[in-house]
């Protein structure tokens, strides 16, 4: 089987290059082509000897993800379906913004075991955990293409398919590679979770500056359990206790994600309950009018009701903003990722 060069750190890459009969400095040249210049083919690496490039092409590969199909949104968002070596599939998204931000939304699992009712990935069920290399490679592929155009990947959000904290070790290894190999600043990386208290506390102890986003979506256990089955095991009180511990340990603000669903969790009373619930927590609420999925019949909250929800939270001194919706026409928005195109 070819050696996946994206799976090697610089020390391992140097050892591999030496095993191919090349001097150590070739490893740094190869590294620069992979991570600084965005080369996606060995033939592009024109300061390497032709014989070495041929040997690399015969025995090595740049990644293991196979792109099956790509879609482009009217707003410029790109969504890709990748096939993993065992045949399972995942999706990854690249979002471009007018302020030159380039944000990759990447997956941590094939499918998801959390079963959130309004999420297309949750409706799929669980396939398997991704390896750290598979997590990293999604971002690396976007980064390479951007660098080849003179641009750079500025942000990464682990908000694609899967629950990152359910695949904790691989997700953290992937985060460290994003920082170390791609040079993404910790504060430009976000890990999203439905709320696994033990893992949230463990994440706090990592002492990273990476952002934490918690999918809350309801202010009572009855409503939240109907939307997010994990709440039956870890009710809101347990989740918020872990979040408070996270804030105390790190000093960092937490983002609470809230999918606004018309007639279900978007009333003034619900906003007031949320305001009381989050009182005293260093946080921000990210409101997301529901994105449609095939198996969930809910509708997004109207703009007027979104504004009222924000105003109600403001009266409780809880800051909130509405997420800019991207790629909705190609099912690339929050909660829409599945394995179908």
Shared domain check, 45 and 153:
no
What's the per-residue H, E or C state across the chain?
A: CCEEHHHCCHHHHHHHHHHCCCCCHHHHHHHHHHHCCCCCCHHHCCCCCHHHHHHHHHHEECCCCEEEEEEECCCCCEEEEEECCCCCEEEEEEEECCCCCEEEECCCEEECCCCCCCCHHHHHCEEEECCHHHHHHHHHHHHHHHHHCCCCCCEEEECCCCCHHHHHHHHHHHHHHHHHCCCCCHHHEEEEECCCHHHHHHHHHCCCCCEEEEECCCCCHHHHHHHCHHHHCCCHHHHHHHHHHHHHHHCCCEEEEEEEECCCCCCHHHHHHHHHHCCCCCEEEEEEECCCECCECCCECCHHHHHHHHHHHHHCCCCEEECCCCCHHHCCCCCCCCCCC
Among the options 91, 163, 257, 339, which is catalytic?
A: 91
Average pLDDT over residues 125-139: 93
Answer whether residue 323 shows pLDDT above 80: no
Q: Tens of pLDDT along 11-41?
A: 999 999 999 999 999 999 999 999 888 888 8
CB atoms within 10 A of CB 19: 9
Per-residue pLDDT at 329: 46
Answer whether residue 326 shows pLDDT above 70: no
Answer whether residue 139 shows pLDDT above 70: yes
Flag whether 94 is in a domain: yes
Task: Give how many domains the chain has, as a whole number.
Answer: 2
Going by pLDDT thresholds of 50, 70 and 90, the confidence category of residue 220 is: very high
The last residue of one of the domains, among 61, 84, 107, is 61
Going by pLDDT thresholds of 50, 70 and 90, the confidence category of residue 335 is: very low
Flag whether 166 is in a domain: yes
Identify which of 92-96, 147-151, 334-338 has the greatest average pLDDT: 92-96
Shared domain check, 158 and 54:
no
Flag whether 337 is in a domain: no
Flag whether 321 is in a domain: yes
Q: Tens of pLDDT along 43-82?
A: 999 999 999 999 999 999 999 999 999 988 888 889 999 9
Flag whether 193 is in a domain: yes
Q: Residue 283 catalytic? A: no
Shared domain check, 281 and 256:
yes
Average pLDDT over residues 132-153: 92
Answer whether residue 333 shows pLDDT above 50: no
Answer whether residue 116 shows pLDDT above 60: yes
Shared domain check, 141 and 42:
no
Shared domain check, 45 and 74:
no
Q: CATH number for the domain including 22?
A: 1.10.150.530
Flag whether 138 is in a domain: yes
Answer whether residue 338 shows pLDDT above 90: no
Q: Tens of pLDDT along 160-213?
A: 899 999 999 999 999 999 999 999 999 999 999 999 999 999 999 998 999 999
Q: Residue 334 catalytic? A: yes
Shared domain check, 106 and 33:
no
Give the mean pLDDT of the chain.
90
Shared domain check, 239 and 261:
yes
The last residue of one of the domains, among 16, 43, 61, is 61
305 contacts 265 by C-beta, under 8 angstroms? no
**Whole domain around residue 35: which residue ranges?**
3-61
Per-residue pLDDT at 117: 78
Shared domain check, 79 and 56:
no
The last residue of one of the domains, among 37, 61, 85, is 61
Going by pLDDT thresholds of 50, 70 and 90, the confidence category of residue 339 is: very low
Per-residue pLDDT at 202: 98
Per-residue pLDDT at 203: 97
C-alpha dihedral, 271 to 249 to 107 to 301, nearest 10°? 10
Among the options 105, 119, 283, 334, which is catalytic?
A: 334
Shared domain check, 211 and 303:
yes
Q: Tens of pLDDT along 239-287?
A: 999 999 999 999 999 999 999 999 889 999 999 999 999 999 999 999 9
Spatial separation of the C-alpha atoms in residues 152 and 94, rounded to whole Å: 12
- For residues 56 and 341, the model is more confident at 56
Shared domain check, 181 and 239:
yes
Shared domain check, 103 and 51:
no
- For residues 95 and 333, the model is more confident at 95
Shared domain check, 71 and 54:
no
Per-residue pLDDT at 98: 85
Flag whether 76 is in a domain: yes
Q: CATH number for the domain including 72?
A: 3.20.20.70
Answer whether residue 5 shows pLDDT above 90: yes
Answer whether residue 337 shows pLDDT above 80: no
């Amino acid at each position: 089987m070819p050696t996946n060069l994206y799976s090697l750190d610089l020390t391992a890459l140097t050892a591999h290059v030496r095993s191919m009969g090349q001097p150590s400095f070739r490893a740094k040249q190869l590294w620069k082509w992979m991570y600084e210049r965005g080369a996606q083919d060995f033939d592009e690496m024109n300061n390497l000897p032709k014989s070495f490039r041929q040997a690399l092409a015969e025995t090595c590969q740049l990644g293991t993800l196979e792109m099956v199909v790509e879609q482009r949104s009217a707003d410029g968002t790109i969504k890709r379906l990748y096939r993993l070596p065992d045949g399972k599939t995942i999706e990854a998204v690249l979002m471009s913004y007018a302020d030159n931000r380039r944000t990759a939304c990447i997956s941590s699992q094939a499918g998801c075991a959390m079963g959130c009712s309004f999420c297309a990935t949750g409706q799929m069920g669980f396939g398997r955990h991704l390896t750290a290399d598979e997590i990293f490679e999604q971002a690396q592929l976007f980064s390479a293409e951007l660098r080849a155009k003179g641009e750079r990947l500025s942000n990464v959000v682990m908000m694609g398919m899967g629950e990152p904290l359910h695949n904790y070790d691989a997700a953290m290894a992937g985060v460290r590679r994003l920082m170390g190999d791609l040079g993404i600043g910790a504060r430009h990386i976000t890990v999203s979770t439905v709320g696994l208290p033990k893992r949230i506390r463990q994440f706090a102890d990592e002492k990273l500056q990476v952002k934490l986003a918690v999918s809350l979506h309801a202010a009572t256990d009855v409503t939240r359990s109907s939307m997010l089955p994990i709440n039956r095991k870890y009710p809101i009180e347990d989740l918020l206790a872990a979040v408070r511990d996270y804030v105390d340990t790190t000093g960092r603000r937490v983002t609470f994600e809230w999918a606004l669903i018309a007639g279900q969790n978007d009333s003034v009373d619900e906003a007031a309950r949320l305001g009381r619930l989050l009182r005293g927590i260093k946080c921000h609420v990210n409101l997301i009018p529901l994105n449609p999925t095939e198996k969930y019949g809910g509708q997004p909250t109207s703009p007027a009701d979104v504004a009222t929800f924000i105003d109600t939270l403001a009266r409780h001194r809880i800051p909130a903003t509405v997420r800019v919706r991207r790629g909705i026409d190609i099912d690339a928005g929050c909660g829409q990722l599945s394995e179908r195109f």
